[in-house]
Amino acid sequence: MEIQFRLFGIPIHVSVLFLLIGLVLGQQAGARTPALMAAWLVVMFLGILFHELGHALTAKGFGQQPAIALHGMGGVTVWRPQGGIGPGKRAVITIAGPLVGLVIGFPALILGALLPEGSTAARVVEFVWQVNLVWAIFNLLPMLPLDGGRIMAALLELVFGERSLRAAYVLSILVAVLIGLYAVLRGAYVLLIFCAYFIYLNVQGLNELRRPAAPPPALDA
């Protein structure tokens, strides 16, 4: 089951699982009351949507026809390449998403420091910079399928050609393992689950390279 609508001519699909996972993450973020949980869900939804719109609108500017899906593990922007869309343009499309988060998150961090500590307004603003700033920084880690991993893969392709994708998968697995170990030491089990999922995706990617297949749609998380 999903909700569908359009923004700026871009189709957007929102899975019910996205909202359910949001409730779990809201508990982790400290949304202990119904009002704070509602605020968290709105902030999370808008934060991830704006992130994906950063990708999608940039892709559209390069002549692509993107679509956005908000699913259980976050969000993704997809398009089937039309015309010349090399690794340089893909890197620009990819960096656009985290940049939106940084532009929103840094002012929210400053505003939060000016609000009365412990107030409802301060908690909501904290949600804003957590979703936009912290998640944007995490998303820039060099680990596929995160944006940082896609930028890494694009840069490797620019230097070494298409065969560099294998190296991007291997480096992503190593980074995911290191962050997973950190998550174990800190007891951050949600982060550990994400790292395990990323390791699985990159192992699958390596396996796909061993057999010929049609090129997949371009993706940006």
Average pLDDT of every residue of the chain? 89
pLDDT number for residue 29: 85
Local confidence band at 220 (pLDDT 50, 70, 90 cut-offs): low
Q: What is the pLDDT of residues 13-31, one digit of tens each?
A: 999 999 898 998 888 888 8
Higher pLDDT, 162 or 193: 193
The answer, yes or no, to whether residue 58 has pLDDT greater than 90, is yes
Q: How do strand 10-15 and strand 2-7 relate by DSSP bridges?
A: antiparallel
Q: Is the peptide bond before 212 cis (omega within 30 degrees of 0)?
A: no
The answer, yes or no, to whether residue 215 has pLDDT greater than 70, is no
Minimal CA–CA distance to 129: which of 151, 96, 106?
A: 106
pLDDT number for residue 115: 92
